[in-house]
Amino acid sequence: MARRLDSFEPSQADRIGGELRRRSDRSTARALAAAISALAIATVVVSQSTSALDPEGTVSAGRFDSGTIQLLDDDLGRSLVDVTNMAPGRPVEACITVTYAGTILPVDVSLSAETTGDVGTYLDMRVERGRAAAFDSCDGFVSEGTIFEGSVGVLAEGSGVDAGVLRSDGESIAFRFTFDLVDEADAEGRAGSLDLVWQAVPG
């Protein structure tokens, strides 16, 4: 017949209580050890299962081809203007057509300028965008608006002006330039050169 714990002497009760606590602790420790072992086994199983998969996996191929951006003009290597003895109030007019020949569409076209000598300071320029013009003649040019008007030097010092959008291969934009010498005494005897630069970037 089992005896109640409170029927033992205090010292005996302490010993029995301590033994019960130790047994409980050992049971808890064994349970934790079992749980940890199970976790370790599960981890090993997962690792083995992963390594057992097809080592080559699967492949999805891709191909990339870069597009092209190309602008052509109708100057055939000739200078847009070649003027001597300019005088204020006697403007010089010239036209050019720029055509797109690329595969990236649409593209934004900009116009900038590079100068040497005194052109930037003493030459004014108006640039119109339009259609129906040829390099050797502005006859028939139809203006769709002015994109720049002022000193050539201002255009050369900036990052360029918006010259239009081209949305298809073979599409063209015509430009009419009007040059005039500034009406200042210091403009006499000046000389220089001007390069007009068109650039296109994906729109």
Domain positions in the chain are 5-51, 71-184+192-202
Of 17-21, 91-95, 170-174, 197-201, least confident by mean pLDDT is: 17-21
Sheet holding 92-100, edge to edge: 71-73, 92-100, 172-181, 123-131, 142-151
Average pLDDT score over the chain: 80
pLDDT at residue 55 in the model: 59
Q: What is the DSSP letter of 38?
A: H
Mean pLDDT of 72-82: 91
102-154 pLDDT tens trace: 999 999 999 999 999 999 999 999 999 999 988 988 999 999 999 999 999 99
Confidence category of residue 33, pLDDT binned at 50, 70, 90: very low
Q: Which residues are 127's β-sheet partners?
A: 148, 177
Position 30 pLDDT exceeds 70: no
Q: How many residues does this entry show for the chain?
A: 203
pLDDT at residue 18 in the model: 52
Confidence category of residue 54, pLDDT binned at 50, 70, 90: low
Mean pLDDT of 2-14: 48
Cα separation of 195 and 13, whole Å? 109
Cα separation of 177 and 132, whole Å? 14
Cβ contacts of 199 within 8 Å, gap of 6 or more: 71, 109, 110, 112, 160
Higher pLDDT, 56 or 12: 56
Position 101 pLDDT exceeds 70: yes
Position 2 pLDDT exceeds 50: no
Higher pLDDT, 97 or 49: 97
Record the pTM. Answer: 0.69
Please check whether the domain covering 71-184+192-202 is classified as CATH 2.60.120: yes
